[in-house]
């Protein structure tokens, strides 16, 4: 009877579940997994820091709408990845984290990279955590972990894998891999809810659709376009949902924050269909964007999210795609929908007016470069269908003013944890998930310092990511907060030096560029993408301006 290692069983189970990519950083505890990946030609993107491996797995999951897998070794390998685990937990990203640990036989021996309970540390920030103690149980428990991670509401799972369990040799017939691993049984709405929703949306004068990350995870892009085409209802989106209705569509209203410009009350939505939206930070509470007088239809897979911050007219615990499929079927029986052209025109004019505040700014020609000029140059000069990764407490808020995507899963940025410094890791996963598309990683100068060695990862794996650093020599969001709260003369611990980030990137083998003049930025961006190599563009920008979105958040 053939013998196989625990690591081999783990890899076979992952591959049967459809896993085609791993992210990680080697450690001795993981050796049997790495060797089995080599035997099965299962690629591993090896990073320079464990947290980057975790963030890469997150971005892969978010961009590809699938399971991400990250491997880290015991002790500091695990602790280095905790930020990614917590980030995935708060954003409900389906990532399987595999953490090596000391052998079961080494308990209480003061051995290497041990001495604390990884299981206990991970438990509060995962959907499920398991320490596998019997090698024959690896296939069954790995399959269970994958089901838990990918089932709604999705989220991270940690496998704590003792080295002697991974290294054990067992009879392969004694460790059968389950036939059913991934489940596909999304919750559908009731016919009563569908009728109520159609009645509300038909009667509304100013209906709107809000798309959250849950809508993207449901895979409802085609159903959404059909419903919008039939009803004419405009759409606002956030997170990976950007692009599910192309930004070029006249019925696309922009990010959630654009809804705040729909004032006074008679310009605000009077009915909102919220699909996969979690109200809170990114909606400025429950009623800032959806007024109390508006009828709210909230469709979410997690009942805890419904009614969390405000009353809901029609609560529906269901998958967004199943909801839209039911609405499309019912809509086919509706004789006609109201003409929404005036309402759509109001939203388009609102967007023009919002950007008009920068008309004079866009004409500036002297340094330093205004942030809105910088992000406009990026969006205007990157290749079609570029995936954008946004990182930096202020930088990504500037990008939100001009973001224009035509596919879902194409804008990957901060979530509820507000993790700064994850951009380079995210861009690795985004590029692996989209090998035929380009990736632009927007970084703040503070954020890029966390994992700047990942330029080496880009070079080693020939990932042609273009990183643009908005360099204002400051932790700008914190400095602006200090200036507002404590006074301009009370700034402390928030200023940075004029570091030559482009030279650092060149040291790792990437192309480096330094831009101080707005006229040089557009051609530099084009040159960087045309090079087909990893690139770092260090752009000196003005510190003084604050993004409109951030001003709204600070005013709460």
Question: Catalytic residues, which ones?
Answer: 29, 50, 113, 418
Residue 295 CB coordination number (10 Å) = 20
The answer to whether 226 and 328 are in contact (CB under 8 A) is yes
Angle (nearest 5°) at CA 437 between 434 and 439: 85
- Residue 187 φ/ψ, nearest 5 degrees: -70, 135
User: Computed from CA positions of residues 374, 379, 380, 381, in that sequence, does the dihedral angle turn out positive or negative?
Assistant: positive
- Reduced to 3 states (helix: H, G, I; strand: E, B; else coil), residue 10 is helix
The answer to whether 251 and 234 are in contact (CB under 8 A) is yes
H-assigned helices in 382-512? 395-400, 423-433, 445-448, 454-460, 476-485, 501-507
The residues, any chain, with a CB within 8 Å of residue 334's CB and separated by 6 or more, are 198, 202
Residue 265 CB coordination number (10 Å) = 10
CA distance 434 to 264: 42
Residue with token string 């001495």: 115
Element (H, E) at 350: helix 341-356
User: Strands 22-24 and 44-46, how do they pair?
Assistant: parallel
The answer to whether 274 and 281 are in contact (CB under 8 A) is no
CA distance 182 to 158: 17
CA distance 241 to 243: 6
User: Computed from CA positions of residues 235, 236, 242, 247, in that sequence, does the dihedral angle turn out positive or negative?
Assistant: positive
Instruction: Quote the distance between the C-alpha of residue 540 and its chain's center.
Output: 26
Cis bond leading into 511, ω under 30°? no
Residue with token string 């929404």: 340
The answer to whether 84 and 422 are in contact (CB under 8 A) is yes
The answer to whether 516 and 541 are in contact (CB under 8 A) is no
The residues, any chain, with a CB within 8 Å of residue 222's CB and separated by 6 or more, are none
CA distance 508 to 290: 48
The CA-to-CA distance between both ends of the chain, in Å, stands at: 66
Residue with token string 């109201």: 338
Element (H, E) at 443: strand 439-444
Instruction: Quote the distance between the C-alpha of residue 484 and its chain's center.
Output: 30
User: Computed from CA positions of residues 357, 359, 363, 369, in that sequence, does the dihedral angle turn out positive or negative?
Assistant: positive
């Amino acid at each position: 009877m053939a013998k196989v290692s625990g690591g081999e069983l783990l890899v076979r189970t992952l591959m049967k579940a459809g896993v085609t990519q791993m992210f990680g950083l080697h450690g001795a505890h993981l050796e049997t997994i790495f060797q089995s990946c080599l035997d099965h030609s299962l690629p591993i993107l090896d990073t320079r820091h464990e947290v980057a491996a975790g963030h890469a797995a997150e971005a892969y999951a978010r961009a590809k709408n699938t399971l991400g897998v990250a491997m880290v070794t015991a002790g500091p390998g695990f602790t280095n990845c905790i930020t990614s685990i917590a980030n995935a937990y708060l954003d409900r990203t389906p990532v399987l984290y595999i953490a090596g640990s000391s052998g079961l036989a080494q308990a209480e021996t003061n051995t290497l990279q041990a001495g604390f309970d990884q299981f206990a540390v991970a438990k509060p920030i995962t959907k499920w955590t398991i320490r596998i103690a019997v090698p024959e149980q690896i296939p069954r428990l790995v399959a269970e972990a994958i089901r838990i991670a990918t089932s709604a509401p999705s989220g991270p799972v940690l496998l704590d894998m003792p080295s002697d369990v991974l290294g054990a040799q067992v009879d392969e017939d004694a460790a059968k891999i389950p036939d059913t691993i991934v489940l596909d049984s999304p919750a559908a709405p009731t016919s009563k809810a569908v009728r109520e929703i159609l009645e509300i949306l038909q009667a509304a004068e100013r209906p709107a659709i809000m798309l959250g990350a849950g809508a993207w995870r449901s895979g409802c892009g085609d159903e959404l376009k059909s419903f919008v085409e039939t009803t004419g209802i405009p759409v606002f989106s956030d997170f990976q949902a950007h692009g599910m209705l192309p930004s070029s569509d006249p019925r696309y209203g922009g990010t959630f924050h654009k809804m705040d410009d729909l004032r006074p009350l008679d310009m605000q939505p009077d009915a909102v269909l919220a699909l996969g939206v979690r109200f809170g930070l990114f909606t400025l509470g429950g009623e800032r964007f959806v007024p109390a007088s508006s009828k709210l239809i909230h469709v979410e897979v997690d009942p805890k999210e419904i009614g969390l911050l405000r009353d809901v007219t029609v609560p529906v615990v269901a998958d967004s795609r199943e909801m839209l499929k039911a609405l499309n079927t019912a809509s086919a029986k509706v004789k006609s929908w109201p003409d929404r052209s005036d309402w759509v025109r109001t939203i388009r004019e609102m967007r023009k007016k919002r950007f008009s505040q920068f008309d004079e700014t866009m004409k500036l020609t002297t340094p330093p470069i205004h942030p809105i000029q910088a992000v406009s140059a990026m969006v205007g000069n990157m290749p079609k269908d570029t995936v954008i990764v946004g990182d930096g407490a202020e930088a990504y808020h500037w990008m939100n003013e001009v973001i224009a995507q035509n596919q879902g899963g194409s804008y990957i940025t901060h979530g509820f944890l507000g993790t700064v410094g994850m951009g380079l890791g995210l861009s690795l996963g985004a590029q692996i998930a989209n090998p035929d598309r380009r990736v632009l990683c927007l970084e703040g100068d503070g954020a890029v310092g966390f994992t700047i060695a990942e330029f080496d990862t880009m070079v080693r794996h020939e990932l042609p990511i273009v990183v643009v650093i908005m360099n204002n020599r400051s932790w700008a969001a914190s400095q602006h907060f200090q200036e507002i709260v404590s006074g301009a003369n009370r700034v402390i611990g928030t200023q940075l030096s004029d570091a030559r980030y482009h030279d650092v990137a060149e040291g790792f083998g990437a192309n480096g560029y330094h831009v101080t003049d707005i006229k040089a930025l557009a051609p530099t961006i084009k040159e960087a993408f045309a090079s087909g190599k990893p690139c770092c563009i260090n752009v000196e920008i003005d510190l003084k301006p604050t993004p409109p979105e951030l001003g709204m958040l600070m005013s709460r």
